[in-house]
Amino acid sequence: MAVSERTEYRIEPVDLASADDTLLRELNDLQNEIAHERAPEEPPIALEVLALRVRNRPGFLKMREWIVRAPAGQLVARGFIARWEADTNQHLRDANIDVAPAHRRRGVAKRLLREIVNAAGSSDDIVIEFAANDRVPASEAFLRRIGAHETLRTHINQVPIAEIDRGLVHEWAMLDPTGYRLVWIDGDVPEELMGNVIVAYDTMNTAPRGEAMEDWHSTPDLIRQFDRSRNATGRLRRLLLAIEDATGATAGFTEMSHDPLTPHLLGQGGTAVVPTHRGRGIGKWLKATMLERVLDEWPGATLVRTGNADANAPMLAINTRLGFRPAWATIVYEVNIADARRYAGSVPV
C-alpha cells in the first residue's frame, strides 16, 4: 500500500461523554468486533452499556480519546490516554489502541501512538501503561516495537456457575474465624464505614503490580465518585468487610458487581486480607459468603469472572479450588515517555 493511501486514514479527537448515539453506535460495533477476536464465546455488548459508561465516568478520570476513519468513512480504530487525579501515581498514564483486524499494518496504530504521546504531558518521568491480550499477538508485537516491556502478567479467570462446588462454598462460608464479624455494604459506602473501606481498598497495594506503579491511596471523595458513577450506569455492587471484633479494624474485604444489561456475568472484584490478619481463613470465608449470596440474588447469571496476577499465589489457590480456570491472559506493558517520544517522532505525519 502506498504511503498516500495510508495517510487517507483520518484521526479525529472525540469527547465520548458528549457524543451522540450515532457515533457511539459505530464505536460499539468496533468494540464488539475487537472483543469477538479476544473472546469469541462472549455475546456482543449492547449500545446502552457503552453509552451509560462513557457518559458517567468518575470525575477524577481524565481522558483524551481519538477515533480513526478509513478512506471510505467507516470507523476502524480507537485510542485513548487516561490519567487519574489522585494523590499518587501522577507520573502514570493508562493508554490503549484498538485497530480492526482488516486495517492493521497500515500505520494506524503508529499514528494513534503519536497522538497519545503528545497528550501524555511534558514531564520526563511519565510512564505509559498498555494492556495486551494473548489472543491478539499483534498487540504484544506492536508494544515491543515501540520500546515497551512486560511488567505484569495476569489472567482473566472464570468459572461457569453450574460448575461451582456449592458444598465447598457452604463449608467455607461456615468458617466463621474467631474474633471477626462480617459487614455488608449493598449501596453507597456509609460514612461510619468509610474508614474501614479505605483500609480495605488500600490493602490491594499488597497485590502484584507493574513496575512504575506506586501505592494508591483511597479517599472519601474518590470512593463517592466511584459510587455515583456506578449508580448512574445501573451497575450493582455488593461489598463485604471482615471486621475484627476487639478493635473494629478492617481485616479483609471482597467485592462483586453485576450489570443487569449483561445479565450472564458476575464480576468478582478485589479481594484482600490485611497482612496482620492472614492465615485464619478469612479470604475463603469472605469469598464463599459472597458467592452464597450473589448466586441466589442474581440467578440469571451463568458465569463468574475475575482477574488475577499470575504471581498472586494465595488468591489463585482459593480461586482454583472454587473452579476458576484461565480464559485469556492480559499482559501489562510499560514504556517510559522518552522511548515513546522517540518512536512517535519517527512516524510519518
Identify the CATH number of the domain in which residue 195 sits: 3.40.630.30
**In a shared domain, residues 127 and 245:** no
**In a shared domain, residues 70 and 98:** yes
pLDDT at 186 over 90: yes
Cα–Cα nearest to 20, from 44, 50, 46, 45: 50
**In a shared domain, residues 7 and 130:** yes
The pLDDT score that the predictor gives to residue 242 is: 98
Mean pLDDT, range 88-104, rounded to an integer? 97
Cα–Cα nearest to 107, from 68, 149, 64, 81: 68
pLDDT grade for 349, boundaries at 50, 70 and 90? low
The pLDDT score that the predictor gives to residue 52 is: 98
**In a shared domain, residues 204 and 144:** no
**In a shared domain, residues 179 and 264:** yes
pLDDT grade for 97, boundaries at 50, 70 and 90? very high
pLDDT at 175 over 60: yes
The pLDDT score that the predictor gives to residue 347 is: 57
Mean pLDDT, range 29-39, rounded to an integer? 94
pLDDT at 46 over 50: yes
Dihedral sign for Cα 284, 287, 290, 291, please.
Answer: negative
* Rg of the chain (C-alpha set): 21
pLDDT grade for 4, boundaries at 50, 70 and 90? very low
Tell me what the pLDDT averaged over the chain comes to. 95
**In a shared domain, residues 12 and 133:** yes
**In a shared domain, residues 151 and 278:** no
The pLDDT score that the predictor gives to residue 217 is: 96
Grid cell 501522577 in the structure block, residue: 90
Express as a percent the part of the chain with pLDDT over 90: 93
**In a shared domain, residues 171 and 315:** yes
Residue 46 CA, chain-centre distance (Å), reads 19
Q: How many domains does the chain have?
A: 2
Range of the domain at 312: 165-322
The pLDDT score that the predictor gives to residue 1 is: 44
Are β-strands 149-160 and 92-99 bridged in parallel, bridged antiparallel, or unpaired? Answer: unpaired
Q: Is the residue at 109 inside a domain?
A: yes
pLDDT at 33 over 80: yes
The pLDDT score that the predictor gives to residue 345 is: 84
The pLDDT score that the predictor gives to residue 346 is: 67
**In a shared domain, residues 183 and 299:** yes
Rounded to two decimals, the pTM is 0.93
Q: Is the residue at 160 inside a domain?
A: no
Neighbours of 46 (CB within 10 A): 13
Cβ within 8 Å of residue 279, ≥6 positions away:
none
**In a shared domain, residues 7 and 36:** yes
**In a shared domain, residues 257 and 335:** no
> What percent of the chain is helix, strand and coil (3-state, nearest 5)?
40, 30, 30
The partner residues of 240 in beta bridges, in order of sequence, read: 184, 254
